[in-house]
Chains A and B, each alone.
Chain A
């Protein structure tokens, strides 16, 4: 349904010839403008790159041209400029939209295999190599 709506809006927009805009309003102040302090801008950008866009769901808000992503970018930059912790903003967003909104993997039990697999592969591979070396020495 949403996709249908997106398509119809896209069709309308292409008829109207207004590129990239879903509304008549100009983008929020910090949607496409970086913060003056490069350190703050970096932490804002690092957060934005791991926050998922609600409109274009396969993109981060850092990559998306959707107007809602622009609003969220502006809000994140302004909040970080006010001294808020990026991870606190992430928690605030997860409280509203669920884990879905964050690209950063959590430590929920469902993700334990994900965290455990590298260790298992490392030890399994190590054991395999060790076995080979020992066998070769014996030969």
Chain B
């Protein structure tokens, strides 16, 4: 009797494993990698000027006492152009927004901003993604909200859509 039950064990194991695989395959693929830097201080950095008519960007800007938005973008990034109206809406609401242009060249950033608008106060050029990696950001565009003491309080992954604006505004206000 005992050995007969044991005979079924491999089949049961196989069934369990197959079930595990099926469940794993049917589960929606989550490819969004959130930064583990949320809640931690913004890493120290100092970037060269990313656009001709905006000053360069360093971490010191984020320790001046007021919460700010840090937007990771690039002139070669299509969704970055799509979120331009939403960034403008945030800037119009009084949010200071600074940008980091990833793997970019100043002339290209200038052309991008002329075409899609420039909501930024400072723009840094991160030609080799170093600050992006230090931030735990995995792509463009991404948006971080930083409180007045330089602590990251929120990360928004992907482009900002019109219905994201009120939520981001709320988080920015609460970061004061």
| A residues at B contact (CB < 8 Å) | 1-3, 5, 8-9, 12, 22-25, 28, 54-55, 57, 67-68, 71-72, 74-75, 93-98, 100-101
Q: Of the candidates B31, B35, B105, B108, which one forms a contact with A57 in the assembled complex, judged by CB atoms under 8 Å apart?
A: B31
* Closest-CB distance, B130 to chain A (whole angstroms): 6
Nearest B-chain residue to A101, judged by Cβ: B33
Query: Main secondary structure on chain B at its contact with chain A?
Result: loop
Categorize the interface residue count of chain B. Answer: 20 to 34
- Residues in B with CB closer than 8 Å to A94 are 36
Q: Of the candidates B37, B77, B103, which one forms a contact with A71 in the assembled complex, judged by CB atoms under 8 Å apart?
A: B103
Give CA–CA (A128, B74) in the complex, Å.
62
Q: Of the candidates A23, A55, A71, A74, which one forms a contact with B74 in the assembled complex, judged by CB atoms under 8 Å apart?
A: A23
| B residues at A contact (CB < 8 Å) | 31-37, 74, 76-79, 102-105, 108, 127-130, 132-136, 138-139, 158
- Docked-complex contact B129 and A96, CB < 8 angstroms: no
Give CA–CA (A20, B49) in the complex, Å.
27
* Closest-CB distance, A6 to chain B (whole angstroms): 9
- Docked-complex contact B133 and A23, CB < 8 angstroms: no
- Docked-complex contact B37 and A96, CB < 8 angstroms: yes
- Docked-complex contact B78 and A23, CB < 8 angstroms: no
The winner among B76, B127, B158 for most chain A CB atoms within 10 A is B76
- Docked-complex contact A100 and B33, CB < 8 angstroms: yes
- Docked-complex contact B31 and A96, CB < 8 angstroms: no
Give CA–CA (A74, B103) in the complex, Å.
14
- With A9-B78, A72-B129 known to touch, is A3 a contact of B31 (CB < 8 Å)? yes
8 contacts between A and B (CB under 8 A): A2-B31, A9-B77, A9-B78, A24-B108, A25-B105, A67-B103, A94-B36, A97-B138
- Docked-complex contact B76 and A96, CB < 8 angstroms: no
Q: Of the candidates B78, B103, B136, which one forms a contact with A5 in the assembled complex, judged by CB atoms under 8 Å apart?
A: B78
- Docked-complex contact B133 and A5, CB < 8 angstroms: no
- Docked-complex contact A71 and B33, CB < 8 angstroms: no
* Closest-CB distance, B35 to chain A (whole angstroms): 6
